[in-house]
Amino acid sequence: MIRPLTTCAALSTAPSYAAPQTLNVASASTWPTRGFWIYNKTKRDFRYVDYRSGNTLYLKAIDWGVFAFRTGRVALQPGMMLGNSTSPTITAVIDQVHITSGTWTGSDATGILILKKYTGTSLFGSTSNIYFGSQIAITGNSTSTRGFRGVQALTWQSNDVIEPASDLDLGVNLPVNNNFLDPPNDMTAPEGVTFSHHPSQEDSLIVESLLGGDSVGIWLRQTILDGTQAREGIEGDIGFAWF
């Protein structure tokens, strides 16, 4: 469980997410003033606040998203730019690659991409061939979505309830042959670990039954947007309960 920074506030206006927007909330006097996440508890959705002036929040545009793919035949890595053709009208940069089955060498890799720096107003389509340079790299398994931290962005309404959110998401995995996952670097997500936001005891991350001597790995992920920097003193206050 990661506790929210402060209490909730109800929206007084509903923002769009295709471009930078302002958002007015009922009361934000105790909230941070610059560079923080907010979480819509009603929609289970995130926005990033560039800065706050009184009760007005200035939100960054959502240029991140998620894309499910199949028939992956080019070994994709963070930092690569993908396009919807060799002369693309839509591009995006890979932030994370999650392989769920298959291999690149077998031309049957299947998985999920977390993308950033979307250009254009459209999204990668389901069944569309997606290019890396002049090569067809992957084929869509579903239409890509926009949203931060692996969550699809939804339209917020004036009666939604929001709160400042932790910078951290949680994931868990069990060891294989007493060994935990060991990604090659901090930019590569551990394969098979699903990260999600758990702001309260009522919305906890549940680990199934463990036997005596069993261990579980707890992973933390912090999403830092381009053009911003990690805030100092980030704290992930994690609580445990046994049943």
pLDDT tens digits, 163-204:
999 888 998 888 888 888 888 777 777 877 888 888 877 788
Q: How confident is the model at residue 52 (pLDDT cuts 50, 70, 90)?
A: very high
User: Based on the domain organization, do 69 and 126 belong to the same domain?
Assistant: yes
Q: How many domains does the chain have?
A: 2
User: In terms of Cα–Cα distance, which of 123, 37, 132 is closest to 78?
Assistant: 132
Together in a domain, 54 and 70: no
pLDDT at 206 over 70: yes
pLDDT in the model for residue 135: 95
In a domain, 218, yes or no: no
Supply the pTM of this predicted model.
0.84
Instruction: Let me know if residue 206 belongs to a domain.
Output: no
Q: Are residues 79 and 128 in the same domain?
A: yes
pLDDT at residue 149, rounded to an integer: 92
If asked whether residues 44 and 93 sit together in one domain, one would say: no
Residues 89 and 16 in one domain: no
Q: Last residue of some domain: 146, 179, 212? A: 146
Residue of higher predicted confidence among 177 and 45: 45
User: Which region among 40-44, 122-126, 148-152, 176-180 has the lowest average model confidence (pLDDT)?
Assistant: 176-180
Contact yes or no for 17/146 (Cβ under 8 A): yes
CA distance 151 to 154: 9
The yes-or-no verdict on residue 2 having pLDDT over 70 is no
The pLDDT, as a whole number, for residue 7 is 60
Res 91: pLDDT = 94
Q: How confident is the model at residue 232 (pLDDT cuts 50, 70, 90)?
A: low
Which ranges in 69-185 belong to alpha helices (H)? none
Beta strands 45-53 and 56-59 are antiparallel
Q: 102 lies in a domain?
A: yes
Question: Regarding predicted confidence, which is higher, 95 or 189?
Answer: 95
Query: Which ranges in the chain belong to alpha helices (H)?
Result: none
What is the domain extent for residue 112?
A: 65-146
* CA distances to 1, 115, 136, 156, 196 from 203, in Å: 8, 26, 40, 20, 10
Alpha carbon distance, N-terminus to C-terminus of the chain:
15
Question: Considering the domain boundaries, does residue 15 fall inside one?
Answer: yes
The C-alpha angle with vertex 28 and arms to 26 and 30, in degrees rounded to 5, equals 145
